[in-house]
Amino acid sequence: MARPYAIYDVFTSERLTGNPLAVVFEADGLDDRKMQAIAAEFNLSETVFVFQPTQPGHAARLKIFTPGRELPFAGHPTVGAAIAIAERKNGASNQDIVHVLEENIGPVRCAVRLKADATTFAEFDLPRKSVRLDAHFDRQALSDALSLKSTQIGFENHVPSFWSAGVPFVMVPLHDLAAVSAVDFDPVAWEQLAPLADGILASAYLYCRGGVNHTARFHARMFAPGLRMMEDPATGSAVAAFSGAIHHFDQLMDGHYPVLIEQGVEMGRPSLIHLHVDVHKGEIATARIGGEAVKIAGGELYL
């Protein structure tokens, strides 16, 4: 059976940058074992499979796989799939579309802005708010795993912390751009210190203020040896978790906060992730993540 697929570069408007994603359409009939094998065959950070929805009015049911395991939720597959589904159905047109994608974490509401003469943009509401998890981190062990000096870890009141909005991450603040760029990540050392949550080894999300792009508020890198990927050029699920850290450490007052985060610069695949946080009565009321995506390839799987 021939199943159509497309490759999109996500969180970018420029091909061969951002985070590549495989989108497999008409996936009904594939089991988890076959999908895991397909994801390993593509060998991208994530592959998303598009099924018929289980609820009327929803756009699709999604299943998301890294080369090593299935994920309950991920940001760049959500953005990429929302755009791929909208473009496949509507072609080059000018319209705004709101649809719901069913993921293992639950229903995810997405808004897609199609423009005939521009790159498509999509954003989604976080299906689960970021929560801080209990963990203690030895600064020297962290610095050894990153090949940095312990004095390069932390800035202002930001300290290493453990957060999840569906996928767990250890948030490691670094002093500046030079420290982030100098990281030489040791996956063996990381696996010895990283905590588990929901059976998933926490990935490393390293960040500092500012960016190479002058519009960026934060510069980040992400490493995920537990998911059989080393560095990732753009990680929406990490930004979802990071929203809690921003709110906590920056002590956000009530209001709306747009935050642009750059990632993938050191990999030569720069990405820009849009985060919007709304704070009400001292708590995060809503948060959204968005970005652009551009199709780079397409074809058929004979499975």
Which residues are tagged catalytic? 46
Compute the distance between CA of residue 50 and CA of residue 103 in angstroms, rounded to an integer: 10
Gap between the Cα atoms of 290 and 273, Å rounded: 6
d(CA 285, CA 40): 37
Q: How far is it, in rounded angstroms, from Cα 300 to Cα 162?
A: 40
Q: What is the dihedral of CA 147, 159, 217, 292, to 10 degrees?
A: 70
Asked if 299 and 10 touch (Cβ cutoff 8 Å), the reply is: no
192 CB-near residues (< 8 Å, 6+ apart): 141
Count of positions (residues) in the chain: 303
Q: Which residue has the tokens 């537990």?
A: 226
Q: Phi and psi for 207 in degrees, rounded to 5?
A: -150, 155
Strand residue runs (E) in the chain: 2-10, 19-24, 47-51, 60-65, 70-71, 95-103, 106-114, 120-125, 131-133, 161-164, 168-173, 196-197, 200-201, 203-209, 218-224, 229-232, 255-263, 271-280, 283-302
How far is the C-alpha of 175 from the C-alpha of 154, rounded, in Å?
Answer: 6
Instruction: Return the axis-axis angle of helices 236-249 and 75-90, rounded to nearest 10°.
Output: 130
Distance CA 276, CA 282 (A): 16
Let me know if 92 is exposed, middle or buried by CB neighbors in 10 A (0-12, 13-18, 19+): exposed
Short-list 223, 264, 184, 215, CA closest to 10: 264
